[in-house]
């Protein structure tokens, strides 16, 4: 579809502004005010320009324009759906896996996604950033844990920090011998690509550690020329990039949308990394698909596009138990020899059924 130029200069934060720009119906205003009182709203000019106000099913609007459906919290939904708190030994740090920590520096974002898994922790009214003392304590924690090989800057969106502050943080982390990788999770290159300035890119590069950037985008239309240029500037500066997307009903829950998104990432030199199943964040049921539908989409994707374009479809297990790949599985046991030893398996007494990309089933090893 063509780009709609709404000629919006500033980030829209109030439901009344969304109505005034034709991005939400006036009749919905009272309900949207209630949503905005609970969950942050922000739509940057770049994102607003992508929304077709005449399309009630616009996949960009669905991600960023609040909806009265957010006022309904379903059973099982939780303020901390992936269990950050259970693994937070100290403010700002989540230490869920042995070799890496999340370092949550800021609690603000350029845009606020309606499905955000940290929607109870980010936005105006929450603490906007770690205090100086909390930052120093978090650094001390990382220094004291020599098993931490990778630090993932997340939040909020770390690229909301100034280049000067980011450079200080990167230098502090890179000065810790055992920290070899600094990964930055961000939506800024699509939400506000002008922030990816030469100063920002210089701040991301640091001696003593390798920087990776993980871009969050969910629909191919987010990868505008400006967004692609911002990513190219980072990649050409030597910063490798991976993608993260969330499987969202009405946004990318069909094979054509996913295929276009994954192909676009690869064309931009961004390796598709994760396709997240929607987390059980409050008021987000209308944006989640079923796991069965997600598996079917992954099956179709594997049949249609290059291996370079295949993300891992993952679920963050509620309670803080980490990510698990959720298939689909292509392998099942053909016989009931569950208890056969590895030695007997090697003698081909266990056979498997394996599904090819067309859906045809084969025996492995084949019968002699
Ligand atoms: S950018 Fe990330 S942290 Fe910020 S609102 Fe979107 S999903 Fe949440």
**pLDDT tens track for 148-202:** 999 999 989 999 999 999 999 999 999 999 999 999 999 999 999 999 999 999 9
Average pLDDT over residues 32-45: 96
DSSP secondary structure letters along 244-262: EEE--TTTT-SHHHHHHHH
CA of 338 to the centre of ligand 1 (A): 44
State yes or no: pLDDT of 2 exceeds 80.
no
Q: Annotated catalytic residue: which of 58, 80, 157, 279? A: 279
Q: Is 187 in the pocket of ligand 1 (CB under 6 A)?
A: yes
pLDDT attached to residue 5: 44
Q: Yes or no: say if 156 and 133 are a contact pair by the CB < 8 Å rule.
A: no
Is residue 164 part of the annotated active site? The answer reads no
Is residue 205 part of the annotated active site? The answer reads no
Could you count the other beta carbons within 10 Å of the beta carbon of residue 209?
Answer: 19
Q: Yes or no: say if 215 and 244 are a contact pair by the CB < 8 Å rule.
A: yes
Among the ranges given (60-74, 94-108, 136-150, 340-354), the one the predictor scored with the smallest mean pLDDT: 340-354
CA of 105 to the centre of ligand 1 (A): 13
**Which residue's C-alpha comes closest to atom 3 of ligand 1?**
156
State yes or no: pLDDT of 4 exceeds 60.
no
Average pLDDT over residues 285-294: 98
Q: Is 206 in the pocket of ligand 1 (CB under 6 A)?
A: no
DSSP secondary structure letters along 323-362: EEE-----EEESS--TT--HHHHHTT-S-EEEE-TTS-EE
CA of 113 to the centre of ligand 1 (A): 6
Q: What percent of the chain has pLDDT over 70?
A: 94
Query: Rounded to an integer, what distance in angstroms lies between the CA atom of residue 246 and that of residue 275?
Result: 5
Is residue 96 part of the annotated active site? The answer reads yes
Q: Annotated catalytic residue: which of 39, 58, 109, 313? A: 109
Query: Rounded to an integer, what distance in angstroms lies between the CA atom of residue 365 and that of residue 368?
Result: 8
Burial string for 149-178 (b: 16+ CB within 10 Å, else e) reads ebbbbbbbbbbbbebeebbebbebbbebee
Nearest atom within ligand 1 for CA of residue 109:
4
pLDDT attached to residue 212: 98
DSSP 129: B
Average pLDDT over residues 335-364: 77
In the predicted model, what is the mean pLDDT of the chain? 93
φ/ψ of 271, rounded to 5, equals -75, 120
CA of 326 to the centre of ligand 1 (A): 23
Q: Yes or no: say if 311 and 264 are a contact pair by the CB < 8 Å rule.
A: no
Query: Rounded to an integer, what distance in angstroms lies between the CA atom of residue 216 and that of residue 34?
Result: 27
Average pLDDT over residues 8-26: 93
Sign of the CA dihedral running 126, 128, 132, 134: positive
């Amino acid at each position: 579809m063509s780009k709609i130029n709404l000629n919006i200069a500033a980030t829209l934060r109030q439901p009344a502004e969304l109505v005034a720009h034709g991005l939400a119906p006036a009749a919905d205003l009272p309900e949207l005010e209630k949503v905005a009182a609970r969950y942050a709203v922000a739509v940057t000019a770049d994102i607003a320009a992508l929304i077709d106000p005449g399309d009630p099913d616009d996949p960009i609007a669905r991600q960023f324009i609040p909806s009265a459906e957010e006022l309904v919290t379903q059973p099982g939904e939780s303020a901390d759906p992936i269990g950050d708190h259970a693994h937070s030994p100290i403010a700002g740090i989540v230490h869920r896996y042995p070799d890496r920590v999340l370092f949550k520096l800021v609690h603000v974002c350029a845009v606020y996604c309606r499905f955000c898994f940290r929607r109870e922790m980010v936005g105006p009214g929450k603490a906007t950033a770690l205090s100086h003392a909390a930052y120093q304590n978090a650094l001390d924690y990382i220094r004291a844990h020599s098993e931490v090989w990778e630090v993932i800057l997340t939040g909020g969106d770390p690229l909301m920090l100034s280049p000067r502050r980011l450079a200080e943080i990167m230098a502090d982390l890179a000065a810790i011998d055992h920290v070899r990788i600094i990964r930055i999770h961000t939506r800024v290159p699509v939400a506000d690509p002008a922030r990816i300035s030469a100063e920002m890119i210089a701040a991301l590069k640091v001696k003593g550690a390798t920087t990776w950037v993980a871009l969050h985008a969910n629909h191919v239309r987010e990868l505008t020329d400006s967004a692609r240029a911002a990513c190219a500037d980072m990649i050409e500066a030597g910063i490798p990039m991976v993608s993260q997307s969330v499987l969202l009903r009405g946004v990318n829950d069909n094979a054509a949308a996913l295929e276009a998104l994954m192909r676009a990432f690869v064309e931009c030199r961004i390796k598709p990394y994760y396709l997240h199943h929607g987390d059980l964040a409050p008021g987000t049921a209308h944006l989640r698909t079923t796991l069965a539908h997600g598996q079917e989409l992954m099956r179709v994707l594997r049949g249609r596009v290059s291996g370079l374009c295949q993300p891992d479809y993952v679920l963050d297990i509620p309670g803080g138990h980490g990510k698990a790949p959720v298939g689909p599985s292509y392998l099942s046991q053909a016989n009931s020899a569950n208890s056969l030893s590895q030695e007997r398996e090697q003698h081909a007494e266990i056979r498997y059924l394996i599904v090819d990309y067309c859906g045809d089933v084969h025996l492995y090893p084949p019968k002699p």
